Structure 1
Amino acid sequence: MRRLGTALAALALAGAGLAGTAVTAQADTGASAVCETGWGSLEKRVTPAEDYRPPVTNVRTGQHECFDRLVIDYKGGSGTGDIGYRVKYVDKLISVGTGEVPISGGAILQIAVSPNHDPETGTNSYPGTHGQPLPGVDITGYQTFKDTRYVDGLEDDVVIGVGVRARLPFRVTQSGDRLIIDVAHSWNATS
Structure 2
Amino acid sequence: MSRHWIRRLTLTATVALAASALPATAQAAPYCGLAWGSLPEVGAGAADTDMVVDVRSGRHACYDRLVVDLLGQDTTFGSYDVRYVPRVVEDGSGRTVPVRGAADLQITLQAQAYDGDGNATFTPADRREVVGVGGYRTFRQVAWAGSYEGSTTLALGVRARLPFRVMVLPGVAQSDFGPRLVIDVAHRW
Question: TM over 0.5: same fold?
Answer: yes
Q: Which amino acid aligns with 1:108?
A: D
**Percent of pairs identical after alignment?**
37
Correspondence for 1:170 among 144, 164, 168:
164
Is 1:65 matched with 2:61? yes
CA contact (8 A) 1:130 1:152 kept: no
Correspondence for 2:113 among 94, 116, 119:
116
- Partner of 2:149, secondary structure, is helix
- Where does 1:143-162 land on structure 2 (aligned, <5 Å)? 143-162=137-156
- Where does 1:41-190 land on structure 2 (aligned, <5 Å)? 41-50=38-47, 52-76=48-72, 79=75, 81-95=76-90, 96-113=92-109, 114-119=111-116, 121-128=117-124, 131-134=127-130, 137-176=131-170, 177-187=179-189
Task: Describe the superposition over 1:1-47 as per-residue Cα deviations: whole angstroms up to 9, x where unpaired.
Answer: xxxxxxxxxxxxxxxxxxxxxxxxxxxxxxxxx61332100000112
- CA distance in 1 between counterparts of 2:73 and 2:166 reads 16
Q: Provide runs of 4+ in structure 1 moved above 4 Å.
A: none
Task: Give the superposed CA RMSD.
Answer: 2.1
Question: What is the number of equivalent residue pairs in this alignment?
Answer: 150
**For residues 77 and 36 of structure 1, do their structure 2 counterparts lie closer, same or farther at Cα, with a shift above 3 Å needed?**
farther
- CA distance in 2 between counterparts of 1:68 and 1:151 reads 20
- TM norm structure 2: 0.72
- CA distance in 1 between counterparts of 2:118 and 2:93 reads 22
- TM norm structure 1: 0.72
- CA distance in 2 between counterparts of 1:131 and 1:156 reads 18
- Partner of 1:149, secondary structure, is strand
- CA distance in 1 between counterparts of 2:85 and 2:144 reads 15
- CA distance in 1 between counterparts of 2:153 and 2:126 reads 10
